[in-house]
Structure 1
Amino acid sequence: MHFGASMFLTDYSMTPAALAKALEERGFESLWAPEHSHIPLSRKSPWPGGGELPKQYYDVMDPFVTLTAAAAATTKLKIGTGVCLVNQRDPIQTAKLVASIDQVSGGRFLFGIGVGWNAEEMENHGTAFTSRAKLVRERIEAMKAIWTQSKPEYHGEFVTFDPMMTWPKPVQKPHPPVIVGGAFPHGARRAVRYGDGWIPLAGRPGQHGDVFEVVPKFRAMLAEAGRDDAACPVSIFNAPEDLDTLKRYRELGIVRVATSLPAAKEDQVLPILDRWAALIRQVG
């Protein structure tokens, strides 16, 4: 089981380079960067975490920029979007971003994606909330064509383009893993249909079932679809700092757990990382 960490990287947090170095030195496998382009002031969409929306959601920097800085400062650490809001990004340009960051990192990019929860935010990008899931699926399908074909084309309801020439192609073949975020059962269904992994959250209020209950159900969905567990492994975000729970995740066959770090400087973050480094050694 691998260990990762996520942070809303801002102008008042640790820099992505400093955080990446600290993670790599302590045996972490990956750094994950979330994204929000902006938060509309209307605040009609409730935050799924419950309560007031944390300030870091307004302030987070672009993940492709911060993760490039993280990759340049490390040699082994994987870098991932946790998650990229594909429903708010042009698929042709995003395909080039993904391929480019996979190239400059030497094949270390993990493409975590989601469909989003903030209706007003995505509507500002021209995306209808009700059809966002189908839009994301088409955009991912289109990007896979761009990454794997010399003259890709795609024709769907929301995404359509004729044959084109576009490079670079990713280092990872056929492409960086598309790891789908989202709760059970809807996020799980999307992962089964077109993902190379699934990312449920641990411990969020309103989750559709506990991780230990839904992971077996997810694997049953994979089997029903004729897919192998190894082709679509489970990563857990927001993992608790608890040895017994982490060991249970390992026994459940979870491929990766990631802790959520505060958007803060070294004096707050490094002690947390040191505690996690001890847990990594204990879990083995």
Structure 2
Amino acid sequence: MRIGFSVPQFGPFADPDRTAAMCTALEALGCDSLWAADRLLAPLTPSEGYPGGQAMPVRYGTHLDPLLALAVAASATERVRLGSSTLNALWQPPVVLARALTTLDLISHGRLDVGIGLGWMREEYEAAGVPWQGRGARLEETLDVLDAVWRSDPVVHDGPLWTIPESTVLPKPLQGPRPPVLLGGFTPPALERVGRRADGWLGASMPLPHLHGLWAVAVEAAERAGRDPAGLRRVFRVNPEVTTSETDPAQTHHRGTVRQLCEHLGAVCATGTGTDEVLVDLQLATDSPEEYLDLAAAFMAELSRIS
């Protein structure tokens, strides 16, 4: 089991100097990866509820840009992988996104994992001037453009949404043939896309029966596409509600003591091939950098014990 933490970038952690110092400290704890999230705005009266049925955290209205936050993390670390979980890929033209991600891969000396998805909030799409309808097809062509820019020389693309005339687009990413691409999502079409064309899945800590059902969709899609599902990575995010006393075992996929939460994450990863990764996002658990790092150390110790 690989162990990752969130890049501090929301609410009281939305300060580049603080972000850099905390990323350095998180790497020193021995973690394997750091992941930045993506939020464009926090509507005061959202049209749809926050996933999980709770109110949207107020601190999501204060945030650093995910790719720039990863650039800060890259400059503050030397070893850890750096990823996005999850970058909303459709808010900018894919050729622009490819350029930014290539630059980030070069800045990080080939440590970038590209985690992208569709998001869930209509208001962000409206603010970005991007249609809400047709998101799946837009993501498919975005992946096509990214592959064209990263893999081809010269680059050419002619699709329903974007056209790139035969062109030179350099430099290429340091990682070849391209940085790993992981896709988020929790619907059958999203998992089918993971199996058919991604390097892995950005999942979440969840009850095991739900996980088994979703992952079966990706496995079947990979097999139909002639791909080996055992080669797909899985990264399981948890935004933990940490308690001091033990809670109902049915809730330990998101709520409980550090030991309960880690034991559930261990059980989730035990369903894979030994290459799974956990992503612990502690930005909703505390306002204090010191407590954040103390909690991260506690998760590191417990996850290392059971892995």
1:37 counterpart SS class: coil
Counterparts in 2 of 1:57 and 1:186: CA distance versus 1, 3 Å: farther
Counterparts in 2 of 1:247 and 1:45: CA distance versus 1, 3 Å: closer
Q: Is the 8 A contact 1:20 1:77 kept in 2?
A: no
Q: Provide the residue aligned with 1:260 in structure 2.
A: 281
Q: 1:251 aligns with which of 270, 289, 297?
A: 270
Counterparts in 2 of 1:18 and 1:114: CA distance versus 1, 3 Å: same
Counterparts in 2 of 1:190 and 1:8: CA distance versus 1, 3 Å: farther
Counterparts in 2 of 1:244 and 1:40: CA distance versus 1, 3 Å: closer
Confirm or deny that 1:271 pairs with 2:294: yes
Whole-angstrom CA distance in 2 between matches of 1:181 and 1:160: 26
Q: Provide the residue aligned with 1:228 in structure 2.
A: 228
Task: Please list the CA deviations of residues 228-272 of structure 1 after superposition, one character each: whole Å capped at 9, or x if unmatched.
Answer: 124322221117543432332332125211112125332220121
Q: 2:191 aligns with which of 184, 188, 193?
A: 188
Tell me the percent identity: 27
| 1:13-32 equivalent positions in 2, closer than 5 A | 13=13, 15-32=18-35
Q: 2:140 aligns with which of 137, 153, 158?
A: 137
TM-superposed CA distance for 1:130, in Å, is 1.9
Whole-angstrom CA distance in 2 between matches of 1:56 and 1:156: 38
Q: Provide the residue aligned with 1:73 in structure 2.
A: 76
Whole-angstrom CA distance in 2 between matches of 1:137 and 1:209: 28
Paired amino acid for 2:134: S
Counterparts in 2 of 1:18 and 1:230: CA distance versus 1, 3 Å: farther
1:153 counterpart SS class: strand
Counterparts in 2 of 1:259 and 1:11: CA distance versus 1, 3 Å: closer
**In angstroms, what is the RMSD of aligned CA positions?**
2.2
Counterparts in 2 of 1:215 and 1:165: CA distance versus 1, 3 Å: same
Q: Provide the residue aligned with 2:87 in structure 1.
A: 84
Counterparts in 2 of 1:11 and 1:250: CA distance versus 1, 3 Å: closer
Confirm or deny that 1:219 pairs with 2:222: no
Q: Is the 8 A contact 1:147 1:174 kept in 2?
A: yes
Please report the TM-score for the alignment, with normalisation by the length of structure 1. Answer: 0.91
Q: Provide the residue aligned with 2:248 in structure 1.
A: none
* More displaced 10-residue stretch of structure 1: 238-247 or 108-117: 238-247
Greater relative contact order structure (CA < 8 Å, 6+ sep): 1
Paired amino acid for 1:151: P
Which sections of structure 1, spanning at least 5 residues, go unmatched?
Answer: none
Q: Is the 8 A contact 1:107 1:172 kept in 2?
A: yes
Q: Is the 8 A contact 2:7 2:70 kept in 1?
A: no
Whole-angstrom CA distance in 2 between matches of 1:168 and 1:209: 44
| 1:192-203 equivalent positions in 2, closer than 5 A | 192-203=195-206
Confirm or deny that 1:109 pairs with 2:123: no
TM-superposed CA distance for 1:117, in Å, is 0.7
Q: Is the 8 A contact 2:192 2:217 kept in 1?
A: no
Task: Please list the CA deviations of residues 140-196 of structure 1 after superposition, one character each: whole Å capped at 9, or x if unmatched.
Answer: 210111011121111111222212222221011111111000103122112123211
1:262 counterpart SS class: coil
Paired amino acid for 1:136: L
Q: Is the 8 A contact 2:4 2:31 kept in 1?
A: yes
Task: Please list the CA deviations of residues 188-245 of structure 1 after superposition, one character each: whole Å capped at 9, or x if unmatched.
Answer: 11212321111122239xxx96224433443233223221124322221117543432
Q: Is the 8 A contact 2:2 2:276 kept in 1?
A: yes
Q: Provide the residue aligned with 2:58 in structure 1.
A: 55
Counterparts in 2 of 1:209 and 1:118: CA distance versus 1, 3 Å: farther
Please report the TM-score for the alignment, with normalisation by the length of structure 2. Answer: 0.84
Whole-angstrom CA distance in 1 between matches of 2:225 and 2:36: 31
TM-superposed CA distance for 1:49, in Å, is 3.0
TM-superposed CA distance for 1:7, in Å, is 4.7
Whole-angstrom CA distance in 1 between matches of 2:79 and 2:144: 29
1:130 counterpart SS class: coil
Counterparts in 2 of 1:154 and 1:231: CA distance versus 1, 3 Å: farther
TM-superposed CA distance for 1:35, in Å, is 0.9
Number of positions where the alignment pairs a residue of Structure 1 with one of Structure 2: 281
Whole-angstrom CA distance in 1 between matches of 2:80 and 2:233: 19
Which sections of structure 2, spanning at least 5 residues, go unmatched?
Answer: 239-252
Counterparts in 2 of 1:104 and 1:44: CA distance versus 1, 3 Å: same
